[in-house]
Amino acid sequence: MFKGVRWQKRITIIPGLLHINLSKSGVSASAGPRGADINIGRKGVTTSAGIPGTGLSYRQKMGGGRGMLGILLVIAGLGWWAFQHWSKVEKIIAPMRPAATQTAAPAVVPSRSSGQSAPVNTAASPLRYVHRQGAILREEAKPSGKILKKSTKGDLVTLIAQSDGWSKVTDGTVTGWMRASTLGTEPPK
């Protein structure tokens, strides 16, 4: 009845890498960036590779010995995408890396509230910015710890120590524990 009518909807699961495609002919999944992907659907597996901005592309249904060319083109395309979007790839793989062992001696930062020095387990600058309005400074490194102060977004604090997702900091008047996720090395936007 509607042979000439086409309809397609692309749902992004992982931006730039995994999509679900809905169309009049059925559901399929695409893995890889646009221009270098593998499509798995009702009609089988198809590989596509293209040169962005040129209109040139190559599409091949998998099967037989010639399917390797399609796979190689898709792998090359994925490599090119990873090279172009390295910052995105870095964010994905950074949590998977093992924690680096610290070889340098920890920095010593004077505590403004007590006048004594305390070791910091970071080689970078001990200054941190509060990135969340109402970030809570607690007496202990746990959610039930007594609230000492609520910080304002943009406040500058000095890092003293870190432990299990918590950071011991001082703002010059009060020293306590704050969730590490609320702190950053750059001023908040």
Using the predicted structure, report yes or no on whether residue 92 has a pLDDT greater than 90: no
Fold of the CATH domain 107-184: SH3 type barrels. (2.30.30)
Tell me the CA distances in angstroms from 151 to 30, 35, 147, one per residue in order.
45, 47, 11
- pLDDT of 177: 93
Task: Parse the chain into domains and list their residue ranges.
Answer: 8-95, 107-184
Q: Write phi, then psi, for 74 (nearest 5 degrees).
A: -65, -40
4-39 pLDDT tens trace: 777 888 888 777 777 788 888 788 888 877 677 888
* Reported pTM: 0.36
Distance CA 140, CA 43 (A): 59
What is the per-residue pLDDT across 145-185, written as a single tens digit (0 to 9) for each? 899 988 888 888 898 988 888 999 988 888 999 998 889 88
For 120, residues 6+ apart whose C-beta sits below 8 A from its C-beta are: 106, 107, 108, 109, 126, 159, 160, 161
Please tell me the distance from the alpha carbon of residue 96 to that of residue 99, in angstroms, as a whole number: 9
Res 164: pLDDT: 84
Average of per-residue pLDDT values in the chain: 75
| Residues 119-151: tens digit of each pLDDT | 544 456 788 899 888 889 999 988 888 999 888
Euclidean distance between CA atoms 141 and 165, whole angstroms: 9
